[in-house]
Amino acid sequence: MKMSKLFVQTLREFPSDAEVVSHKMLGRAGFIKKLAPGVYTYMPLMWRVLKKVENIVREEMDRAGAQELLMPFVQPKELWEESGRWEVYGKELMRLKDRHDRDMCLGPTHEEIITAVTRDVLKSYKQLPVNLYQIQSKFRDEIRPRYGLLRGREFIMKDAYSFDIDEAGLDKEYQNMAQAYKKIFERCGLATKMVQSDSGAIGGSVSHEFMVITDTDAGENDVFYCNECDYSANSNHAISKLPPATVDGKEYFKEKKILDTPHTHSIEELSEFLKIPSTLILKSLIYIIDKKPVIALIRADKTVEETKLMNAAGGIDIRIATAGEIEELMQEKGFTAEAGFIGPNGMNGIKIIADETVYDMKNFVVGINQTDKHLVGANLEDVLTDEVIKADIRLVEAGELCPECGKPLFVTKGIEVGNIFKLGTKYSKPMNAVYTDINGQTHPYIMGCYGIGISRTAAAAVEAHHDEHGIKWPLAIAPYHAVIVPVNILDEQQMKVAEKIYSELLSAGVEVVLDDRDERAGVKFKDADLIGFPFRITAGKTLSEGLVECKVRATDEALKLTPDEAVKKIIDAVKEL
């Protein structure tokens, strides 16, 4: 490819709306062009990168025994009603009507479709196991798309679905996929951590995420991990052992009584007013889960993890209650308390979920739904009834102890580039997708699903590999392997050498760009760095010694080589892929 013909425009400045490195770099270097929030055109350079990521994914999936197919992007409502997700999925599901007023949606994921496809084909245990995958655009109408390709609304995803006759088969395939994923990300030049996670709206029991660890905002997930053993988990799923704490208030409270605690709206104010550690306060929070109020109880120095709470309540949507909703609920139950004085007592008919931390507490402080008052010296029997659900709904904090080995946990940010789920019969059962076993009995398939964000993986690679001058693409997914820069295109010798190297590389199958633009060297070097070609060969002043410069973008290493040596170096590097 001649640079003069390459469809790309690099910018002198970063796009003003970009926040994170990958968005800034990909925008400035002309890889992507925004059409609408979270919707981008992949320009030729980007598309080359994406195709490379896709092909690595394809090769490893095929090698792992999966088969590629392609399912529709526009999907009918009926299938989503079968699985029950038409109601459940919420606004993230982009819905539309066709000309006959039929409800359709844009595919955010394909469990329904693949289940509908396989149930007509996979009838016998003899046909199982099967793993099917596709690579295509998905659409999820995110509340707030941002960070460029890291959280787009339209994005490219590889989604795979496995079908087995039993849990053992699923376990095996799950491991198989985990291995394939490890290989895929390694080949893409990305170091990933496989962490335990919540299975979210997709559903199912066990799941893991593949995280690219980053210390920037681009990592939207908190990952807790142990340095002593291999425990690691997304914050929405992490568990921990707690260090010892003061949880018995007998030194502070001789007896159970109601105390005036004026203006103690926050835990901080309350613990200061009573001169007690916050570990002696039982915090009561009101959430709205699937449109119904739920009370969450937790030791006040700890934070509720909403996903855990939602799961404990068996819900699929959660948010904290508004002041207005709290007031409404209080009125309904005959109280007048403001937020800050809420407690579980008298909340009949409301689902109450208590964190495990609550069960260790003695002689503690709790709200009793009266403004400016708290009950002190209280015990479990004063606040908990049989109805209360005990669950771990606590957000882990760094410094708490590893659930497996007891050593301190650390936290870091991660970009989720892949995930694997054990679905079990979550879709096969409601959608009546069954096979017949050796005894003639029918059973729902045991399913798994496995996703990789293709476009997000490419963006994550930029997050992981760049410097202040631009992108440092890993060779395996770079849009081109190399660029050749004749410093002055009017210099016949330089052009002759450059063109010779160009044609030799081309015929060896190297993807190479010849920067034949009538620009000064600085412009070409800046663009080469920005775009991130792994190798740059410069034909310039060193030609007087019969040498060219070969610069390695990843390391900034610059070698003076003969043209033949430079060609060989690049061909060898590409061969190793």
Partner RNA sequence: CGGGAUGUAGCGCAGCUUGGUAGCGUACCUCGCUUGGGACGAGGGGGUCGCAGGUUCAAAUCCUGUCAUCCCGACCA
Min CB(548)–RNA separation in Å: 7
Identity of the residue, 66 or 528, whose beta carbon is nearer to RNA in the bound complex: 528
Regarding 94 and contact with RNA (CB under 7 A), the answer is: no
- For residue 446, give the nearest of 53, 170, 136 by alpha carbon: 170
Site pattern 539..568 for RNA (x: CB under 7 A): xxxxx----xx-x------x----------
User: Residue 565 to residues 46, 501, 503, 537, 569: CA-CA distances in angstroms?
Assistant: 30, 10, 15, 11, 6
Regarding 436 and contact with RNA (CB under 7 A), the answer is: no
Q: Which stretch binds RNA (CB under 7 A): 61-69, 258-266, 378-386, 449-457?
A: 258-266
Q: Which stretch binds RNA (CB under 7 A): 103-111, 402-410, 441-449, 520-528?
A: 520-528
Q: Taking the CA atoms of the chain, what radius of gyration do you get in angstroms?
A: 29
Regarding 37 and contact with RNA (CB under 7 A), the answer is: yes
Q: Which stretch binds RNA (CB under 7 A): 97-105, 208-216, 299-307, 443-451?
A: 299-307
Regarding 513 and contact with RNA (CB under 7 A), the answer is: no
Distance linking the first and last C-alpha atoms of the chain: 21
- Tokens representing 291 are 């449109």
Regarding 518 and contact with RNA (CB under 7 A), the answer is: yes
Name residues contacting RNA, limited to 215-244 (CB under 7 A): none
Euclidean distance between CA atoms 390 and 388, whole angstroms: 6
Q: Which stretch binds RNA (CB under 7 A): 49-57, 294-302, 396-404, 408-416?
A: 294-302
Min CB(257)–RNA separation in Å: 20
Regarding 538 and contact with RNA (CB under 7 A), the answer is: yes
Name residues contacting RNA, limited to 475-504 (CB under 7 A): 487-488, 490-491
Q: Are 492 and 64 in contact (CB under 8 A)?
A: no
Regarding 10 and contact with RNA (CB under 7 A), the answer is: yes
Cβ-based neighbour number of residue 398 at 10 Å: 13
- Tokens representing 472 are 């440092």
Q: Are 540 and 474 in contact (CB under 8 A)?
A: no
Regarding 3 and contact with RNA (CB under 7 A), the answer is: no
195 three-class SS: strand
Regarding 303 and contact with RNA (CB under 7 A), the answer is: yes
User: Tokens 């799950």 belong to which residue?
Assistant: 174
Regarding 523 and contact with RNA (CB under 7 A), the answer is: yes
Exactly one of 48, 51, 362, 526 binds RNA (CB under 7 A); which one? 526
Regarding 13 and contact with RNA (CB under 7 A), the answer is: yes
DSSP for 407-434, please give it: PBEEEEEEEEEEEEEEEETTTTTTTT-E
Min CB(77)–RNA separation in Å: 23
Exactly one of 530, 567, 570, 574 binds RNA (CB under 7 A); which one? 530
Q: Are 457 and 53 in contact (CB under 8 A)?
A: yes
Euclidean distance between CA atoms 255 and 349, whole angstroms: 29
Identity of the residue, 186 or 217, whose beta carbon is nearer to RNA in the bound complex: 217
Regarding 323 and contact with RNA (CB under 7 A), the answer is: yes
Site residue total, RNA (CB under 7 A): 74
Q: Are 382 and 299 in contact (CB under 8 A)?
A: no
Euclidean distance between CA atoms 181 and 417, whole angstroms: 10
Identity of the residue, 128 or 150, whose beta carbon is nearer to RNA in the bound complex: 150
User: Residue 385 to residues 45, 334, 345, 556: CA-CA distances in angstroms?
Assistant: 62, 19, 9, 66
Min CB(60)–RNA separation in Å: 33
Regarding 270 and contact with RNA (CB under 7 A), the answer is: yes
Min CB(385)–RNA separation in Å: 20
Name residues contacting RNA, limited to 366-425 (CB under 7 A): 395
Strand partners for 155 = 138
Q: Are 301 and 279 in contact (CB under 8 A)?
A: yes
Min CB(281)–RNA separation in Å: 9
Min CB(295)–RNA separation in Å: 8
Exactly one of 41, 216, 322, 432 binds RNA (CB under 7 A); which one? 322
Interstrand relation of 192-196 and 207-214 (parallel, antiparallel or unpaired): antiparallel
